[in-house]
Amino acid sequence: MPIDYPAVLNLKTEAAPYSWTDREVMLYALGIGIGSDPLDEKELQFVNEAFATPRPLKVVPTFASVCVWGARPGPIDLNRVMVVDGERDIIFHKPMPVAANVTADARVRGVYDKGKDKGAIIQNEVVVKDSDGDKIVTIVSSSFARGDGGFGGPSEGMPEPHQVPRRAPDRSVDITIRPDQALIYRLSGDRNPLHSDPEFARRAGFPRPILHGMCTYGLTCRAVLQTYADYDPSAFRRHRVRFSAPVFPGETVSIDLWKDGNSISFEAHVRERNATVVKNGQTLLS
């Protein structure tokens, strides 16, 4: 069935309960490749709570992208085989806690019709609140439903993307993706077989399973953490990207960064395929 527009805009859920512990925090960090060098103490702070000298476990800011996995406004009839991540924008109202009991409010912010053969964009918002009712993060996600265009909705109206500088990047970071990275990352919530089942991936038009877009999102957070944030998660105020092409496990992602005051712009490429996989990236630091 086509997307029911404009009724879809009324979908929402409120105060859905979620929780997590340090186990989920560390599993997420491992899922985006942190800890690959078991002697790197700066990265061990995100995956190890058992130091000889006590120190607090740190939470990767983009853990927010999975902390209330499954929080959605309600069911939308889509061709799930053809759905991929489009954009992610997280605003941090306070640092992510190591463990928490929280609630999530979810709503549809907008639905855009790119045409019958061009797909649809669904934009959702999730607000995560702590046990006192204070906001922890606001998560805005856009999904690209490649098989669901032509439902008669608006084609324009999405916010303009962040523009990265045209000068040469100030720094670049290369991150190699383990061949089994998607199989680890999926344990943080996204069990879509597009990332684990070769036959399903072929049905979706890919030669083999692709890396989760949100894992690539985490890689860009890693790049900012290790360059301009000095491994301090509390420095993050916002982290947003637009996904432009898939990453395959086993590839190397090169992330170019530009610093302008507290704004860090970035783009990510897989140079072996000459493919830009993340565009219009921006982190705001305190």
Residue 12 lies in a domain: yes
Distances (CA, A) of 141 to 109, 138, 182, 198: 9, 10, 20, 26
Helix (H, G, I), strand (E, B) or coil at 209: coil
Paired sense of beta strands 135-145 and 120-129, if any: antiparallel
What is the full DSSP assignment across 141-197? EEEEETT---SS--S--PPPPPPPPSSPPSEEEEEEPPTTHHHHHGGGS---GGGT-
Residue 46 inside a domain? The answer is yes
Any catalytic annotation for residue 195?
yes
Contacts of 42 (CB under 8 A, 6+ apart): 226, 231
pLDDT one digit per residue (tens) for the chain, 286 residues:
689 899 999 999 999 999 999 999 999 999 999 999 999 999 999 999 999 998 999 999 999 999 999 999 998 888 877 888 889 999 999 999 999 999 999 999 999 999 888 899 999 999 999 999 999 999 999 999 988 898 988 988 788 899 999 999 999 999 999 999 999 999 999 999 999 999 999 998 999 999 999 999 999 999 999 999 999 999 999 999 999 999 999 999 999 999 999 999 999 999 889 999 999 999 999 9
Of the candidates 85, 105, 190, 256, the residue annotated as catalytic is 190
Residue 2 lies in a domain: no
- Asked if residue 263 is part of any domain, the answer here is yes
How many separate domains does the chain show?
Answer: 1
144 within 8 A of 111, measured Cβ to Cβ? no
Point out the catalytic residue in the list 195, 212, 239, 269. Answer: 195
What CATH number did the domain enclosing 224 receive? 3.10.129.10
Residues 98 and 198: their CA atoms lie apart, in Å, by 35
Residues of the domain holding 184:
7-285
Query: pLDDT value at position 103?
Result: 98
- List the Cα angle 87/188/124 in 5-degree steps: 30
As a dihedral over the C-alpha atoms of residue 226, residue 43, residue 134, residue 284, rounded to 10 degrees, the angle is 10
Calpha distance 97→102 (Å, rounded): 10
Q: Looking at residue 1, what is its pLDDT?
A: 64
Active site residue 190: yes
CA 107, CA 137: separation in Å to the nearest integer? 15
The predicted pLDDT at position 227 comes to: 98
Q: Is 35 within the bounds of a domain? A: yes
Helix or strand run (H / E) with residue 83: strand 83-92
Establish if 1 belongs to a structural domain. no
Grouping H, G, I as helix, E, B as strand and the rest as coil, residue 129 is strand
Cα(89)–Cα(95) distance, rounded to whole angstroms? 16
Contact 211, 218 (CB under 8 A): no
